[in-house]
């Protein structure tokens, strides 16, 4: 499958600069890099974004992720490898990514309360920005058919 066009964030360099600033801020929010990469992987799994999956897989491995955690991420609820804090971050990532699929409140009070138990406002800000930025990338990459083996940002 060939890309339909070059990545818009590369065509409009100010867009990529803004995205990079968002990611830099996200990485300075006090959330472990491994957790942020798990969020990136899970959001990209849900959205079917192959280039983001490849990129976050590489970043997760660089951050020290294990094969067991990486291969069971899609089944994180059943897998024994994730901490309670990571589970809350993943649940939040799924709820926000699937906003259109909801029939009740998108982020129930119980989920938010659990998130607040594990993360302070700065960390929650980083998590929310990571989820939003990854959804943005996914929603650009999928329609233009960005290739996982030849991403335009490399």
- pLDDT class of 101 with cuts at 50, 70, 90: confident
- The rounded distance, in Å, linking the Cα atoms of 17 and 22 is 9
Taking the C-alpha atoms of residue 10 and residue 142, their distance in angstroms, rounded to an integer, is 15
Q: 134-152: per-residue pLDDT in tens?
A: 999 999 999 999 998 876 6
Question: Could you read off the pLDDT of 105-136 as tens digits, one per residue?
Answer: 889 999 999 999 999 999 999 999 999 999 99
Domains by residue range for the chain, with CATH: 14-144 (1.20.1290.10)
> pTM to 2 decimals?
0.93
Q: Are 1 and 145 in contact (CB under 8 A)?
A: yes
What is the DSSP annotation of 84-111? HHHHHHHHHHHHHHTGGG-SS-SS-HHH
Average pLDDT over residues 72-79: 98
CB of 125 closer than 8 Å to CB of 29: yes
- Residues 58-68 have pLDDT tens digits of 999 999 999 99
Over residues 46-68, mean pLDDT = 96
**C-beta of residue 118 within 8 angstroms of C-beta of residue 84:** yes
DSSP 8-state secondary structure symbol assigned to residue 149: S
Q: What percent of the chain has pLDDT over 70?
A: 97
């Amino acid at each position: 499958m060939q890309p339909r066009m070059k990545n818009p964030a590369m065509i409009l360099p100010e867009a990529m600069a803004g995205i990079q600033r968002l990611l830099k801020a996200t990485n300075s929010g006090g959330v472990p890099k491994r957790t942020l990469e798990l969020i990136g992987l899970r959001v990209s799994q849900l959205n079917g974004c192959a280039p983001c999956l490849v990129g976050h897989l590489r970043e997760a491995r660089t951050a020290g992720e294990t094969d067991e955690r990486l291969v069971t991420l899609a089944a994180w609820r059943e897998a024994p490898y994730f901490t309670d804090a990571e589970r809350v971050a993943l649940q939040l990532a799924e709820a926000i990514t699937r906003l259109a699929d909801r029939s009740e409140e998108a982020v129930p009070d119980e989920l938010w309360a659990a998130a607040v138990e594990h993360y302070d406002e700065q960390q929650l800000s980083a998590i929310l920005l990571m989820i939003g930025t990854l959804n943005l990338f996914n929603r650009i990459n999928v329609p233009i058919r960005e290739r996982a083996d030849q991403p335009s940002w490399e």
